[in-house]
Amino acid sequence: MTAAELIAFAAFEGGVFSQAFPAFGVERRGAPVQAFVRFSDEKIRLRSQVYEPDYIIVQDPTLIGDVDVFMGMEAGGIAIINTEKPDFDAMVPKGVKVYAIDATTIALEELGVPITNTTLMGAFAAATGEIQLEPLEHALRSRFSGSMADKNVRAAERAYNLVGGAA
Amino acid sequence: MLEFMEGSHAVAEIVKRCRPQVIAAYPITPQTHIVEDLAQMVANCEIDAEYITVESEFSALSACLGASAAGSRVYSATTSQGLALMFEVCFNAAGMRQPIVMTIANRSLGAPLSIWNDQQDSISLRDSGWLQFYAQDNQETADLHMIAYKVCEDHDVLLPAFVCFDGFILSHTYEPVSLPTQEEVDAYLPAFNPYQRLDAAAPLSFGMYATPEYYTEFRYEIDQALYRAKDAFVRAGREFGEQFGRDYSALVEGYRLEDADTALVAMGSICGTAKDAVDEMRAAGRKVGLLNIRMFRPFPAQEIADALKGVSTVAVLDKNISLGSGGAVGTEVKAALYGSGISVYDYIIALGGRDVRKRDIAAVVDLAEKGEGDMFYGLRTEVL
C-alpha cells in the first residue's frame, strides 16, 4: 500500500488527479496484498478495484505462478517485476513489456532492509514515464525525513537510472 | 488548495479545525486511523480538547453525551459492532437533544463477521433520531463534518448527527482533498452556544422519565426537530457554498436526470462509480441519470419526488438489508413515489465489501428496464 500511496502522491505532485487504495482488509506483512492506483486529468469518481491494469508492479516474485499477476493486462501494458531471475516469460501476455529489476538487492544496499516500495517506484517512473523524477523525490521527502529520505531517494534514483537505461 | 491524503486523515484534520472540546472514541476497523490521528493531535496540543480514553463504545458515547450536556462541543467516531454497542446511548443522545457529531466509517454487521463495507450499521440506527449524512468522496466527507456541527447546534434543531463515509472505500483511500484553514473554519462555524446545559448554579435534569401524559409529546418534538433540520441543512449548505464554492444546499443531488427515463438512486461512494456508468450509458444513447441521497435522516421524501418527476423507472441501490422486508432506502423511496406511477425496483448490492463495477451498475439498469427487481443483485448461486 505504501508503494501505491507514494506513486499516486508523486503523480498528484506532478499535476494530475490520482487515487490510491488497498484491496481492503488483508494488510499485513507477509500475506499477499494488492493495492491500486489511478491517474486522470479529471477528478476520479470510480471506486471499483482495477481489473484491466495498464501497469502492474510485482513486489514479490514468488507470487508469480500462485497468482495470475498479469490478469486483465492487454498488449501495450507494462509490468515492473522485482526479481533476480526472470524466468516467467511463458506467463506474460502478448504485447506486455516486462522490466525485471532486482529491487530487493538495491533496497538492501541502499536502505539496509528488503523493503522495495521506493526502489520499485523509481523503476515504475522510468518504465512508464507517468511520474517525473522531481515530484517523485518530493513525494519521498514528504514521507520520510532526514537520512531515511536521502536513502530512499537514492534507492529510487538508482532504479530509475537502471530501468531508464534499459527503456 | 488540494492536498493528497487518506480519507481518515482528512476527517481528523477537519474535526480538529471544528474545535471539539471533548473527544471520546474506541478504536475499531476501519475507523481506527481517525481516532489515532486525533489522539496524536491532542497529545501534541494541536487541539485544546479533552481526549477521554474508554473501554468500550458504550462508554465513549456516554462520555460524549455527558460532556455535551455540560455544554461542550463533542466528537466521536465508530462503525459496525461499535455502533451496535452504542444503540441505547444513541437513542438517549437524540432524546436529550445533544448536538453530538459522530463519524461512521460504514461497515457491515455480523454475523458472519465482516470488516468490509456496506451501510448496514448506520441504516440500522435510522429510527434513533440522529441526522444521517452520506458522503460520496473524501471532499464531501470533510465538508459534511463542518455542516453537521452547524446544523446540529442550530437552536431550531439540537440533535446529534452521523456523518457517514464508506469504510475502506473512502476511509483508506488516498485522494486530493481541499481543507479549509482554521481561520476559514472559525468564520463558518462559531463556538458552540448551548441552548441549555448542566450548571450547578441553575440545576437541570436531562433524560428523566416521562409518564404516558408526556412521552408522546417528547417524541413528537424530536420528530419535528428532525424535519426542521432540513431547512437548517439547506441554510448551512448554502452558506458553505458561498464561503467555499462547494454548494450543499440540496438534500439530494441529481446527476444527468434531465430527460432521463431511468434513474438510479444511491447513497455514498457508490455514486461515483454510478456517475461514470451513467456517462457511459448516456454515450451509448440511453437516457439514464442518478439521484444521490445526501441526507437520509430526515428523509427527503418530497425532494426525491420532485427530483424524479418525469422518469418512468427507478432503480435503488441498497447497501443494506432490512431482513425480511427489503432494502431500507428502496422501501422509503417507494413510499415517497407512491401514486406517481413510477416503477421503483430495489437492489441489494455491495454487501460486506463486494466490489461494484460500472458494468454492475449497467446490469442493474438493464434489470430495472426489464421490470425485474426487488432482489439481491449478483448472487453467487453456486454457493447457496
Q: How far apart are CA B131 and CA B325, in angstroms?
A: 23
Which of B185, B215, B244 finishes a domain?
B244
In this structure, are B258 and B240 located in the same domain?
no
For β-strands B2-6 and B174-178, DSSP reports them as: antiparallel
CATH number at residue B156: 3.40.50.970
The mean pLDDT of chain B is: 97
CB contact under 8 Å between B172 and A22, yes or no, is yes
Structure-block grid coordinates of residue A38: 489511478
What proportion of chain B, given as a percentage, has pLDDT over 90?
100
In this structure, are B326 and B230 located in the same domain?
no
In this structure, are B10 and B141 located in the same domain?
yes
CB contact under 8 Å between B356 and A47, yes or no, is yes
Q: What is the pLDDT of residue A61?
A: 84
Instruction: Inform me whether the C-beta atom of residue A62 falls under 8 Å from chain B C-beta atoms.
Output: no
A4, A5, A47: residue with CB nearest B169: A47
Please check whether residue B49 is in contact with residue B23, taking contact to mean a CB–CB distance below 8 angstroms. yes
Instruction: Inform me whether the C-beta atom of residue A20 falls under 8 Å from chain B C-beta atoms.
Output: yes
Instruction: Inform me whether the C-beta atom of residue A59 falls under 8 Å from chain B C-beta atoms.
Output: no
For A52-71, how does the pLDDT look when each residue is reduced to its tens digit (9 = 90+)? 999 999 998 888 878 889 99
Q: What is the pLDDT of residue A86?
A: 76
Q: What is the pLDDT of residue B119?
A: 98
Q: In b/e form, how buried is each residue of B314-350, taking b as 16+ CB within 10 angstroms? A: bbbbbbbbbeeebbbbbbbbbebbeeeebbbbbbbbb
Q: Which chain A residue has its CA at the smallest distance from B4's CA?
A: A9
Structure-block grid coordinates of residue B114: 465482516
- Could you list the pLDDT tens digit for every one of the 167 residues in chain A? 889 999 999 999 999 999 999 886 555 666 778 999 999 999 999 999 999 999 999 998 888 878 889 999 999 999 999 998 877 777 899 999 999 999 999 999 999 999 999 999 999 999 999 999 999 999 999 999 999 999 999 999 999 999 987 65
The mean pLDDT value for B200-225 works out to 96
Structure-block grid coordinates of residue A14: 506532478
Q: How far apart are CA A63 and CA A82, in angstroms?
A: 11
Q: What is the pLDDT of residue A25?
A: 58
- Counting every residue written for chain B, the total comes to 384
Dihedral Cα B217, B218, B220, B221, nearest 10 deg? 120
Q: What is the pLDDT of residue A167?
A: 57
Q: In b/e form, how buried is each residue of B245-268, taking b as 16+ CB within 10 angstroms? A: eeebebbbbbbbbeebebbbbbbb
ipTM: 0.94
In this structure, are B276 and B223 located in the same domain?
no
For B114-135, how does the pLDDT look when each residue is reduced to its tens digit (9 = 90+)? 999 999 999 999 999 999 999 9
Chain A environment of B271 (Cβ under 8 Å): 45
Counting Cα atoms < 13 Å in the Cβ hemisphere of B165 gives 31
Sheet (strand A17-22) strand order: A35-40, A17-22, B174-178, B2-6
CATH number at residue B292: 3.40.50.920
Q: How far apart are CA B196 and CA B157, in angstroms?
A: 13
In this structure, are B313 and B297 located in the same domain?
yes
Residue B220 pLDDT > 80, yes or no?
A: yes
Which of B228, B244, B260 finishes a domain?
B244
Q: How far apart are CA B175 and CA B187, in angstroms?
A: 26
Q: What is the CB neighbour count within 10 angstroms for residue A27?
A: 12
Question: In DSSP terms, which residues pair with B264 in a beta bridge?
Answer: B290, B315
Residue the block writes with cell 500500500: A1
Q: Cis bond leading into B112, ω under 30°?
A: yes
Q: What is the CB neighbour count within 10 angstroms for residue B32?
A: 17
3-state percent helix, strand, coil for chain A, nearest multiple of 5: 40, 15, 40
Q: What is the pLDDT of residue A31?
A: 75
CB contact under 8 Å between B4 and A46, yes or no, is no
Q: How far apart are CA B230 and CA B210, in angstroms?
A: 27
Domain that holds residue B294: 252-383
A17, A45, A47: residue with CB nearest B176: A17
In this structure, are B221 and B348 located in the same domain?
no
What is the model's pTM? 0.96
Structure-block grid coordinates of residue B314: 427507478
Sheet (strand B262-266) strand order: B252-255, B288-293, B262-266, B313-318, B343-348, B375-376
CB contact under 8 Å between B272 and A46, yes or no, is yes
Residue B375 pLDDT > 70, yes or no?
A: yes
Q: Is B203 exposed, middle or buried (0-12, 13-18, 19+ CB in 10 A)?
A: exposed
Closest CA to B259 of B280, B279, B289, B285: B289
In this structure, are B264 and B333 located in the same domain?
yes
Query: Which three-class secondary structure string do you get for chain B?
Result: CEEEEEHHHHHHHHHHHCCCCEEECCCCCCCHHHHHHHHHHHHCCCCCCEEECCCCHHHHHHHHHHHHHCCCCEEEEECHHHHHHCHHHHHHHHHCCCCCEEEEEECCCCCCCCCCCCCHHHHCCCCCCCEEEECCCHHHHHHHHHHHHHHHHCCCCCCCEEEEEECCCCCCCEEEEECCCHHHHHHHCCCCCCCCCCCCCCCCCCCCCCCCCCHHHHHHHHHHHHHHHHHHHHHHHHHHHHHHCCCCCCCEEEECCCCCCEEEEECCCHHHHHHHHHHHHHHCCCCEEEEEECEEECCCHHHHHHHCCCCCEEEEEECCCECCCECHHHHHHHHHCCCCCCEEEEEECCHHHCCCCHHHHHHHHHHHHCCCCCEECCCCHHHC
**DSSP H helices in A16-145:** 103-110, 117-128, 133-143
CB contact under 8 Å between A8 and B4, yes or no, is yes
Helix (H, G, I), strand (E, B) or coil at A35: strand
In what helix (H) or strand (E) does residue A40 lie, and over which residues does it extend?
strand A35-40
Q: What is the pLDDT of residue B233?
A: 98
What proportion of chain B, given as a percentage, has pLDDT over 70?
100
For B291-334, how does the pLDDT look when each residue is reduced to its tens digit (9 = 90+)? 999 999 999 999 999 999 999 999 999 999 999 999 999 999 99
Instruction: Inform me whether the C-beta atom of residue A8 falls under 8 Å from chain B C-beta atoms.
Output: yes
More confident residue, A91 or B4: B4
B2, B176, B357: residue with CB nearest A48: B357
In this structure, are B131 and B55 located in the same domain?
yes
- Tell me which architecture the domain covering A2-166 has in CATH: 3-Layer(aba) Sandwich (3.40)
Instruction: Inform me whether the C-beta atom of residue A40 falls under 8 Å from chain B C-beta atoms.
Output: no
- For residue B6, give the amino acid letter: E
Q: How far apart are CA A31 and CA A33, in angstroms?
A: 6
Interface of B with A in 68-97 (CB under 8 A): none
- For residue B243, give the amino acid letter: Q
Which DSSP letter does residue A161 get?
H
Q: What is the pLDDT of residue B327?
A: 98
In what helix (H) or strand (E) does residue A154 lie, and over which residues does it extend?
helix A146-166
Q: What is the CB neighbour count within 10 angstroms for residue B236?
A: 25
Total number of domains constituting chain B: 2
**Distance between A166 CA and the closest CA of chain B, angstroms:** 31
Mutation for A interface: B173, B279, B280, B319, most A CBs within 10 A: B173
In this structure, are B152 and B83 located in the same domain?
yes
For B70-114, how does the pLDDT look when each residue is reduced to its tens digit (9 = 90+)? 999 999 999 999 999 999 999 999 999 999 999 999 999 999 999
- For residue B323, give the amino acid letter: L
Structure-block grid coordinates of residue B81: 459492532
Helix (H, G, I), strand (E, B) or coil at A79: strand
**Distance between A79 CA and the closest CA of chain B, angstroms:** 23
CB contact under 8 Å between A47 and B30, yes or no, is no
Which of B244, B279, B296 finishes a domain?
B244
